[in-house]
Structures are given as C-alpha cells and as structure tokens.
Amino acid sequence: MSWLDLLATGSSLVTATLGTVVAILAFQGYRRNDSPTMRALAVGIIAIAVVPYLLASVIAPFVALSDAQALLAATLSHTIGLLAIYRTFDSG
C-alpha cells in the first residue's frame, strides 16, 4: 500500500468519524428538543459522511461490488443525504 493509499484511507476514516460525531450531536439535539429538523440533519450527515465510507471500505469488498457499483451507491447515498438536509431548511 502506497503512502497515497494510506492518506486516502486515513482521510476517509477521519471524515466518517467526524461525520459520526456531528450526527450524534444533531441526534442529541433532536432528542433534547424533539426537533424533526435535527433528526433530518443527523440522517443527512450520516448519509453523506458515513455511509459512503462503509460502502467503499466495508461492504464493497464483502459483496464484490465493482468500482462503478460502489460509486453509484455512494452517489445515491450523497443524494439521499442532501435531500434530508434540504428538508431542514424552512420553506416558509
């Protein structure tokens, strides 16, 4: 494994870890204030920061996903996350 592979893996892990921490804080805000907005924010952050890492690093090797399939799954996860975060904006 080259230093670039290690750097990419490490930065992906840091992103997933930081995303988890932020999502936990948002979820705590949801529970404390019974706020659906904070719940949607937590779901969006998980879908954007954590799920793609899990797909690429954990799930893809076990189910033999091709690079294209893993990229499609990550892109769909990003889209779902952005839609969840979009819901947090007050439209009125």
With beta carbons less than 8 A apart as the criterion, state whether 38 and 27 touch.
yes
Whether the pLDDT of residue 85 is over 90: the answer is yes
Q: pTM of the entire structure? A: 0.88
Task: Quote the CA–CA distance of 23 and 8 in Å, as a whole number.
Answer: 22
Whether residue 92 is predicted with pLDDT greater than 80 in this model: the reply is no
pLDDT-based confidence at residue 90 (cuts at 50, 70, 90): confident
Long-range contacts of the stretch 23-29 (C-beta < 8 A, 24+): 23/49, 23/50
Per-residue pLDDT tens over the stretch 7-66:
998 999 999 999 999 999 999 999 999 999 999 999 999 999 999 999 998 998 899 999
